[in-house]
Amino acid sequence: MILELKNVCKSFHQPRSGMIEVLNNVNFSLDMGETNAITGQSGSGKTTLLSLIAGLDIPDSGKILLQGEDLCSMKENRLSRYRATKIGIVFQRFHLMPHLSARENISLPLEILKHQHITDRVDDMLGKIDLQDRQHHLPGQLSGGECQRVAIARALIIKPALLLADEPTGNLDIKTGEKIARLLFDLVEKENKTLILVTHNLDLADQCQKIRKLDRGRLV
């Protein structure tokens, strides 16, 4: 088992509605190499769940264990290291660095971690996403689909234990979205990655081995 959530709860305080319980005793486990979809209506807590797994936010109670280690008990510098080395995230809105080229966006995580053989690894990754000829373009000079290919490459370049994707095709037209989904699943399979894909697109969810739904704070 690579990931385990035990009785995870998360509430937010909102000025109008007061406390809202977004996740209510969520239990969930994931085996190595498994692909999982999490669906649910807008506002059902999908992004919140991913943020907790990514170590970007902390649950009010419960445990989140990645490879047996509890995120909630990690100190901040250990948690930063966890985020940088174990987790790759692909967002709906790409979140690329606008002033860096496609190539530089992909190499950045490796630069931060002071890896070796960065040039070769980035070349290899550019080949996998078929973007060699546009590698020196800035995100603003790339199409949405190309930006998402860069974002997928940036997430995978660190060889994360877990790949998280939050509505990765949500900002793309249908045809481009299908292409990106194919690329994502292709890479996940080739690199034997464990994937959690958040989407309200059921066709996309169907391509995962397991589908779970967030409904009124519970995962079913």
Ligand X SMILES: Nc1ncnc2c1ncn2[C@@H]1O[C@H](COP(=O)(O)OP(=O)(O)O)[C@@H](O)[C@H]1O
Compare residues 36 and 47 and give the one whose CB is closer to Mg ion.
47
The total of other beta-carbon atoms located within 10 Å of residue 174's CB is: 10
199 binds Mg ion (CB under 5 A): no
- Name the binder of 26 from Mg ion, ligand X, none, CB < 5-8 A by kind: none
User: Which residues between 145 and 174 bind ligand X (CB under 6 A)?
Assistant: none
Beta pairing class for 61-66 and 69-70: antiparallel
In the complex, least distance from residue 134 CB atom to ligand X, rounded to whole angstroms = 31
Which residues, other chains included, contact 43 with Cβ-Cβ below 8 Å and sequence gap of 6+? none
- Name the binder of 154 from Mg ion, ligand X, none, CB < 5-8 A by kind: none
Beta pairing class for 218-219 and 69-70: unpaired
Compare residues 35 and 47 and give the one whose CB is closer to Mg ion.
47
In the complex, least distance from residue 57 CB atom to ligand X, rounded to whole angstroms = 8
In the complex, least distance from residue 154 CB atom to Mg ion, rounded to whole angstroms = 20
Compare residues 142 and 195 and give the one whose CB is closer to ligand X.
195
169 binds Mg ion (CB under 5 A): no
In the complex, least distance from residue 137 CB atom to ligand X, rounded to whole angstroms = 30
Compare residues 40 and 102 and give the one whose CB is closer to Mg ion.
40
In order of 113, 129, 147, 163, the CA distances from 120 in angstroms are: 16, 15, 21, 22
Dihedral of the alpha carbons of 210, 208, 49, 42, in degrees to the nearest 10: -110
The DSSP H or E segment spanning 127 is helix 118-128
DSSP state at residue 29: E
- Name the binder of 55 from ligand X, Mg ion, none, CB < 5-8 A by kind: none
Beta pairing class for 162-166 and 87-90: parallel
User: Which residues between 20 and 49 bind ligand X (CB under 6 A)?
Assistant: 20, 22, 40, 42-48
47 binds Mg ion (CB under 5 A): yes
161: which 2 tokens? 């234990």
Phi, then psi, of 55 in degrees rounded to 5: 75, 20
Name the residues that contact Mg ion, by CB under 5 A.
Answer: 46-47
Name the residues that contact ligand X, by CB under 6 A.
Answer: 12, 14, 20, 22, 40, 42-48
